[in-house]
Amino acid sequence: MTRIIFSIFFAFLFLLSCTQQDAVNIYSSRHYDTDLQLYDLFTEQTGIQVNLIEGSSDELIERIRNEGVNSPADIVITVDAGRLWRAKEANVLQPFESEILTNTIEEDMIDPERYWVGLSQRVRAIIYNRETVNPDELQGYWELANDEWEGRLCVRSSNNIYNQSLVASLIESHGEEATEDWAANLVSNFARTPQGGDTDQIRAVAAGLCDVALANHYYLARLINSNSEQDQEVASRVDIYFPAQEYGGAHVNISGAGVAANSPNRENAIRFLEFLATKEAQEIFTVANNEFPVLEGIELSEVLYDFGRYDSDKMNVAMYGENNPRAIRMMDRVGWR
């Protein structure tokens, strides 16, 4: 009973804070301490108080739907364009206009109907074992389905949004029939049944369970920056490769945000999005969290600088969401579990 009373009390306090005129209420599926720096800096510069609710993307979407027109949510933040697409399809976002964002961020990183905007970039990289793979052997994601990689590839399961978005991008660039053939051949090259997260794939490569793996770049950056000797040992045994443009380019995804459908503080919400596209905010994304910026001219962290430049596949990331249902069905058909 006491726990219930406390839960009601804290819920009341949150709703009370959400009614502040100088506030912005953020529902975020990003769980990084560095994001707290962003919120504090925004409040410092604008005087607008940030109220934060965290949860998984699906949880937050469902919560906003259940709250309906009385939802206090102003901003929805999540990772991967596929999840932003889900939020848009669930009618929990509204379109917005901002000359600052339109003139600052590349068109490929913004929803064509302006329901969301990309705030940081995440590259789906090929991680390889330094001892067993010559980087000259590596080409693109498409070539990982070739016979030479049979039994040598580690990857997460098909229910992972990062892999779904990669397949969705290949559907857009190569067509559904060709991509299904590719996916079937890729599955035959798996070194083991898909399991674990991106860090687990990197550890598997370092341990010699496979020679190459797919993982977002910042997972390796975390291992490199870790204080753990074990993590650093793992990082020392692997390296990172970004596919060149001649092989289709690197698959670039985003972390992004949109204005909630029934935002009670819409002007503050748009102001917050514009703040995240400033030099100060982009440097926090990049230096503190090892995500690539969406702006040019932002100083990179030492790890990102060492990773080197990458050539994007030059595709509007909105296509990852639009092609997501087909990607999921395809991955199921070819046995990518």
Of all helices (H) and strands (E), which one includes residue 216?
strand 212-216
CA-based end-to-end distance of the chain: 43
Q: What is the pLDDT of residues 203-218, one digit of tens each?
A: 999 999 999 999 999 9
- 19-34 as b/e, with b when 16 or more CB fall inside 10 Å? eeeebbbbbbbbeeee
Per DSSP, the three-state class of 233 is: helix
Q: What is the pLDDT of residue 314?
A: 84
Q: What is the pLDDT of residues 38-92, one digit of tens each?
A: 999 999 999 999 999 999 999 999 999 999 999 999 999 999 999 999 999 999 9
pTM of the entire predicted model: 0.90
Q: What is the pLDDT of residues 98-151, one digit of tens each?
A: 999 999 999 999 999 999 999 999 999 999 999 999 999 999 999 999 999 999
* pLDDT above 70 as % of the chain: 94
Taken in order of first residue, the domains within the chain and their CATH numbers are 18-121+253-300 (3.40.190.10), 122-251+314-333 (3.40.190.10)
For 32, the token pair is: 């990084």
Indicate the average pLDDT of the chain: 93
Backbone φ, ψ for residue 98 (5° rounding): -155, 110
> pLDDT band for position 10 (50/70/90)?
very low
